[in-house]
Structure 1
Amino acid sequence: MSKTLLLYFIAAVAATGGLLFGFDTGVINVALPFIKQEWQLSETAEGWAVSAVLMGGMAGSLLSGQLADRLGRKRINILASLIFVAGSVLTAIAPAPSWLIAGRLLLGLAIGIVSFSVPLYIAEIAPSHMRGRLVTFFQLAITIGILVSYLCGYAFADYENGWRLMFWAGFVPAAMLLVGMFLVPESPRWLVSKGRTDEAMVVLERIHESAHARQELADITRAMQDEKNRRPDWRELFSPRLRIPLFIGIGIFLIQQFSGINAVIYYSTRIFEMAGFGSGDTAIMATVGVGVVNTLSTLLAVRFLDQWGRKPLLYTGLIGTAVSLATISFAFYFKDSLGVDLLKILSVGGVYVYILFFAISLGPLGWLLISEVYPLRIRGFATSLGSFYHWFFDFWVSFTFPILAASSLGTNGGIFMIYTLVVLLGLLFARYIVFETKGLSLEDIERKWASK
């Protein structure tokens, strides 16, 4: 196997965690109508059924940050795969809503772990010229997982207890991740941080040419030597010299989540029903279209992220999502005068265009930036904190959407105008906070903060 092919294999195995992320967050979209019908869930219970994953995600991202620094990137992903297996089984056999919520809490715990450990692991394995592309595999896998969950929803919709089959399907990628992580190496940067330089060199020689591997090891070792007299301390993240990385890690996910992405991912079936699509197969098929657009658009990000750079794609995505969200808001506000057919065109078209621009920018850039901007010494903790904010903001968007959708803000499109304003604020964030990391090694970025 060539070294380039090996890198793609390692990234693909690790990114299976992203596939599970996408599947287990997206499957509730298509399963929820059938669960509501069987158990007569209230709007609040519906919110908890969706948001339990997000609460588990917050816990997983916080609890596992220091474990990743202590145990290693590989073993923490193996732990996550075991939790995925347990959560998939529990949600599929749940005899009552409380059991379903408990299973989704477990799935959220695992998702919280992989949401920071997988991008971190890939970033530390990848050469600088491929890092954007390979880390974006994680976001691509998320979109594929979402699409697969929607397809499972469509395939099992007419089966008795079909929603249970939808959850059972998540067991397969969980088992794949568990097996696959035993076949890939540990992060060489983590090995160096633990004094296991010889093992790190073995890994680097597997993925680089010998001369490049030696240079890479020298750079990593030099960065570690520069920091050898400074013990890891999570409080350093809040020091003045790391203020910009901290703002990036929080701000990128605030803009990402309050752009309304997971209101669309979790509730697109409901949004299309509000736009006049009949319930059942028609709305679910429109939702499958969301998954297809999401996946194809993320492929564009994989192709061009290292070529164009982070900031140009961020600007493009923010402008595109603002226009599409404003279109959706306009469609619902004037729905009485537009007519049903035009409302369907504008709402579905607006959602699809929104997904396209989000998938080439805010989607992959959140995970990529938090895996790049922090020093190695505290990278595990700092990345887990960034992941926590992703789930924290995601929770509030997802929990409040069904409540707001039932209010006047939902019926007149006001909720989408709120999301539009957040995205416009994101343009200021992109201009004054985010910096370009294209072509820089992780050690180059670390030296940038060391010089502050």
Structure 2
Amino acid sequence: MSKTVLLYFIAAVAATGGLLFGFDTGVINVAMPFIKQKWSLSPQAESWIVSVVLIGGMAGAILSGQLADRLGRKRINVLASLIFVVGSLLTAVAPSPDWLVAGRLLLGLAIGIVSFSVPLYIAEIAPSHIRGRLVTFFQLAITIGILVSYVCGYAFADAVEGWRLMLGAGIAPAILLLAGMFFVPESPRWLVNKGRTDEALAVLNRIHETGNAQTELADISRTVQQEKTRKTDWRELFSSRLRIPLLIGIGIFLIQQFSGINAVIYYSTRIFQLAGFGSGNTAIMATVGVGVINTLSTLVAVRFLDQWGRKPLLYTGLIGTAVSLATISFAFYFKDSLGVDLLRILSVGGVYVYIFFFAISLGPLGWLLISEVYPLRIRGFATSLGSFYHWFFDFWVSFTFPILAATSLGTNGGIFMIYTAVVLLGLLFARYVVFETKGLSLEDIEKKWERP
């Protein structure tokens, strides 16, 4: 196996955590209509079942920073995989809504952990010239997980209590992640930070081109040594010197989530029903299309992110998502005069185009940027904080959407116009805050913050 192939294998194994992320957040979309029917849930109860996973995600994101620094990047992923197994089993056999909420809370905890640990691990393993591509494997795996969850929903829709099969299917990739982590190396940067330089050199020799390992080890060791001369303090993240990385880590997820992505991912079946589709398999099939577009579009980002750079893709994606969100809003506002067929074309087409532009930009760039921009000495805490804000913003979008959808903001498309405004503000964020990291090593990026 060549070293390049090995790197791709390592990234793919770690990215299985992203597949679980996507599956366990997406599967509730197709399972919820059947769960509502079984237990006659109110909109508020529905919101909690969907959104409690995000509360778990916040907790997992906060805990994972210190755990990853103490245990290592590998062992924390092993821990997450075990939690995934337990959570999936609990949701599949839940005898009541309360048990379902408990299981989804556990799944959220595991998702919060991998949302921090997987991008960080891949970024610390990958050489700079393909780091963007490999870290984007995580987002690609999320989209594949969402697609698989939708396909499971369609496949089990007619089964007796098929929603239990939908939720329980997540056990299989959790076991794959658990097994796979025993075949990949530890992060060399974490090993150097723990004084295990011989092991770090062995890892670098295994995964990087001949002759580069010693040079890279020297760069990593120099950075670690410089950082150890300082007292590590999480409050440093809030200093004026690191203001830009902090703004990037919070801002990218604020715009990502308030663009409405997870309102679409979690509730696309509901959106298509509001647009005139039936309440059965037709709406679910249209939702499967969301998963297909999401996955194929993320492949575009994987292919071109390191070639085109972060900022050009971000600009392109923001403009495209704004136009498509405005189209969806227009379709709902004028639905009474458009006719059923045109309403379906504009709503489904708008959602699909929105997913395409999101998947090539805001989707992968959030996880990529927070894994790149922070100094090593606070990278664990800072990345987990960024992940926390992802789940915090995601919670509020996901919790409020079904409630707002039951008001005039849902029926006249006002929700999507709010999301459009946020995306347009994101263009200012991209212009004045985000900087280009294409082709820079993590050590080169860190040098930017060493300047007075």
Q: Is the 8 A contact 2:64 2:116 kept in 1?
A: no
- Which residue type is aligned with residue 239 of structure 1? S
Tell me how far 1:122 sits from its aligned partner: 0.1
Q: Is the 8 A contact 2:36 2:46 kept in 1?
A: yes
Tell me the residue number matched to 2:434: 434
Tell me the residue number matched to 1:37: 37
- Which residue type is aligned with residue 201 of structure 2? M
Say whether 1:361 aligns with 2:361. Answer: yes
Tell me the residue number matched to 1:296: 296
Say whether 1:287 aligns with 2:287. Answer: yes
Tell me the residue number matched to 1:211: 211
Tell me how far 1:451 sits from its aligned partner: 1.3
- In the alignment, the residues of structure 1 paired with residue 228 and residue 64 of structure 2 have an alpha-carbon distance, to the nearest angstrom, of 24
Say whether 1:332 aligns with 2:332. Answer: yes
Tell me the residue number matched to 2:403: 403
Tell me how far 1:63 sits from its aligned partner: 1.2
Q: Give CA deviations for 1:14-62 in whole Å, capped at 9, x if unaligned.
A: 0000000000000000000000000000000000000011000000000
Tell me how far 1:247 sits from its aligned partner: 0.2
Tell me the residue number matched to 1:139: 139
Tell me the residue number matched to 2:199: 199
Tell me the residue number matched to 2:95: 95
Secondary structure at 2:448 match in 1? helix
Tell me the residue number matched to 2:312: 312
- In the alignment, the residues of structure 1 paired with residue 409 and residue 186 of structure 2 have an alpha-carbon distance, to the nearest angstrom, of 49
- In the alignment, the residues of structure 1 paired with residue 450 and residue 70 of structure 2 have an alpha-carbon distance, to the nearest angstrom, of 23
Tell me the residue number matched to 2:130: 130
- In the alignment, the residues of structure 2 paired with residue 153 and residue 102 of structure 1 have an alpha-carbon distance, to the nearest angstrom, of 21
- In the alignment, the residues of structure 1 paired with residue 16 and residue 228 of structure 2 have an alpha-carbon distance, to the nearest angstrom, of 34
Say whether 1:120 aligns with 2:116. Answer: no
Tell me the residue number matched to 1:52: 52
Tell me the residue number matched to 1:28: 28
Q: Give CA deviations for 1:98-129 in whole Å, capped at 9, x if unaligned.
A: 00000000000000000010000000000000
Tell me how far 1:231 sits from its aligned partner: 2.3
- In the alignment, the residues of structure 2 paired with residue 406 and residue 250 of structure 1 have an alpha-carbon distance, to the nearest angstrom, of 30
User: TM-score if structure 2 supplies the norm length?
Assistant: 1.00
| Gaps in structure 2 of 5+ consecutive residues | none
Secondary structure at 1:64 match in 2? helix
Q: How many residues align?
A: 452
Greater shift in the superposed pair: 60-69 or 264-273: 60-69
- In the alignment, the residues of structure 1 paired with residue 134 and residue 445 of structure 2 have an alpha-carbon distance, to the nearest angstrom, of 18
Query: 1:179-194, aligned counterparts within 5 Å?
Result: 179-194=179-194
Tell me the residue number matched to 1:265: 265
Tell me how far 1:210 sits from its aligned partner: 3.0
Q: Give CA deviations for 1:205-260 in whole Å, capped at 9, x if unaligned.
A: 00112310111101101111222211221111111100000000000000000000
- Which residue type is aligned with residue 136 of structure 2? T
- In the alignment, the residues of structure 2 paired with residue 432 and residue 389 of structure 1 have an alpha-carbon distance, to the nearest angstrom, of 21
- Which residue type is aligned with residue 165 of structure 2? L
- In the alignment, the residues of structure 2 paired with residue 364 and residue 188 of structure 1 have an alpha-carbon distance, to the nearest angstrom, of 24
Secondary structure at 1:388 match in 2? helix
- In the alignment, the residues of structure 1 paired with residue 48 and residue 280 of structure 2 have an alpha-carbon distance, to the nearest angstrom, of 22
- In the alignment, the residues of structure 2 paired with residue 181 and residue 235 of structure 1 have an alpha-carbon distance, to the nearest angstrom, of 33
Tell me the residue number matched to 2:231: 231
User: TM-score if structure 1 supplies the norm length?
Assistant: 1.00
Tell me the residue number matched to 2:321: 321
Say whether 1:241 aligns with 2:241. Answer: yes
- In the alignment, the residues of structure 2 paired with residue 57 and residue 115 of structure 1 have an alpha-carbon distance, to the nearest angstrom, of 8
- Which residue type is aligned with residue 413 of structure 1? G
Say whether 1:275 aligns with 2:262. Answer: no
- In the alignment, the residues of structure 2 paired with residue 233 and residue 102 of structure 1 have an alpha-carbon distance, to the nearest angstrom, of 35
- Which residue type is aligned with residue 145 of structure 1? G
Tell me the residue number matched to 1:63: 63
Tell me the residue number matched to 1:389: 389
- In the alignment, the residues of structure 1 paired with residue 216 and residue 98 of structure 2 have an alpha-carbon distance, to the nearest angstrom, of 50
- In the alignment, the residues of structure 2 paired with residue 4 and residue 222 of structure 1 have an alpha-carbon distance, to the nearest angstrom, of 26
- Which residue type is aligned with residue 281 of structure 2? D
Tell me the residue number matched to 2:445: 445
Greater shift in the superposed pair: 15-24 or 233-242: 233-242
Q: Is the 8 A contact 2:81 2:178 kept in 1?
A: yes
- In the alignment, the residues of structure 2 paired with residue 231 and residue 2 of structure 1 have an alpha-carbon distance, to the nearest angstrom, of 40
- Which residue type is aligned with residue 110 of structure 1? A
- In the alignment, the residues of structure 2 paired with residue 230 and residue 322 of structure 1 have an alpha-carbon distance, to the nearest angstrom, of 44
- In the alignment, the residues of structure 1 paired with residue 446 and residue 175 of structure 2 have an alpha-carbon distance, to the nearest angstrom, of 36
Q: Give CA deviations for 1:172-198 in whole Å, capped at 9, x if unaligned.
A: 000000000111000000000111100
| Gaps in structure 1 of 5+ consecutive residues | none
Tell me the residue number matched to 1:153: 153
Query: 1:159-170, aligned counterparts within 5 Å?
Result: 159-170=159-170
- In the alignment, the residues of structure 1 paired with residue 299 and residue 111 of structure 2 have an alpha-carbon distance, to the nearest angstrom, of 22
Q: Is the 8 A contact 2:88 2:170 kept in 1?
A: yes
Q: Is the 8 A contact 2:321 2:357 kept in 1?
A: yes
- In the alignment, the residues of structure 1 paired with residue 378 and residue 228 of structure 2 have an alpha-carbon distance, to the nearest angstrom, of 13
- In the alignment, the residues of structure 1 paired with residue 382 and residue 10 of structure 2 have an alpha-carbon distance, to the nearest angstrom, of 23
- Which residue type is aligned with residue 64 of structure 1? S
Tell me the residue number matched to 1:341: 341
Tell me the residue number matched to 2:81: 81
Tell me the residue number matched to 1:108: 108
- Which residue type is aligned with residue 133 of structure 2? R
- Which residue type is aligned with residue 357 of structure 1? F
